[in-house]
A and B are shown apart, each in its own frame.
Chain A
Amino acid sequence: MTRITAWRRHPLARYAVLIFALALVGMAYTAFAQASQPADAALASGRVDDVAEGKALFEAHCGSCHGLNAQGTGTGPTLIGVGAAAVDFQVSTGRMPAADPGAQAPRKPQPQWVNEDAIRKLGAYVQSLGQGPTVPSAEQVDPKLGDAGKGGELFRANCIQCHNWAGAGGALTQGKYAPNLNESSPTQIYEAMITGPQAMPVFNDSTITPEEKRSMIAYITQVREQKDPGGFGLGRIGPVTEGLVAWIAGLTALVLSAIWITAKKRQKS
């Protein structure tokens, strides 16, 4: 028996082949699934004023769905009266402009023309169409000024039924979902509460006062920055991943050790 034949007949050979094949399929998949980077570099130039420039940006990037006068079309709602806060939330999180129609627009990297300046101009234009909530000041969303204990109680009473106790997100009906809050900036969290994007309800200032909103932001940021004291956090989604780990890591390790300590010595052939 040559050495290669001996390797081929080794009891572990079939597993090695299986792992190799899986790795090959995985690599082929990632090679083909490389998403092409969107290249959109159309930034309007010229300085008249924010509203006029915002209108130009709007017509170039938003008008096809929301209508050239933001009056709304069959594919996008009217933006009259949604306010600058809604624009800032949607565009700064990359949700708008939407890539494709679906149950919900996901958070994604911003296109190249988007920067703080462009968002401010777009916001100014949309704000000029009708009154609406404005972008909060830095002080309004400063987590250091909030009371995390109080904010936690409000968070548990108002947010976690969709966003989960640690802001890890959760499923809603028909493919919609509550996104996780780990990447949201304090400003975005505040804006989401006052504008109620997508499936989210509006929490206006009479339901939850601005100070209370700031406390909730304090709780959210404190909890998400916390290092998990008990080891790996397992996604902070609770018993589902714990059960998976118990079976896949715990029980598998114990079964393998049982096989090991009851194994018979291999016969030399």
Chain B
Amino acid sequence: MIENYILMHKGGLDEYRDNIFVNYSSSLTMAMLYLPSESDFSVADEAAVAALVNSSSKMRFIDLSESVYPLLTDLKNYMLIRINDKNITIERHGRVYAYIVQNGELKMLPNGVTSIDDKDRVICCTAEFLRDLNEIAILSDAVISDSAEEWMDHLVCRISDANRLAQGNLTAVTMIVRSGD
């Protein structure tokens, strides 16, 4: 099982423009879209991406990637994630990032498949979310947290201390691998 907590906060803007689409099945499949102010994305394309992710449980990751690519080409900043308790597969484009806590360090995940272990902690987030954080802060909050929600709460407090959550949209997912559950 992958315990996860999703943050979708509008920040200081009038509306929440980023988006996350999730499919909960034996693996967790996710599309994270980052839309800074200069970006634009049609409602129809967004709905199409949502539909693809929703129906992706039996789809190979590469097929999902190829299906969403034409819809997201202009977006530039997005990430596809598939994670189960054995490995995580990501494909990231532009200013969205994924990190894993391993051996007391925070490491950026490369595109492709990475094996993971029980209790590993993973975070996927946009550049806006990361703006007032650093790797040591993310790492420290990860290793003291019992749950994905608690980890996110600590990170939000740090961002709040820096900018009162009054900047752009804040989009992130914290995940903890629970192999025994």
Q: Do A and B come from one complex?
A: no
Chain B positions near chain A (C-beta within 8 angstroms): none
A residues near B (Cβ < 8 Å) are: none
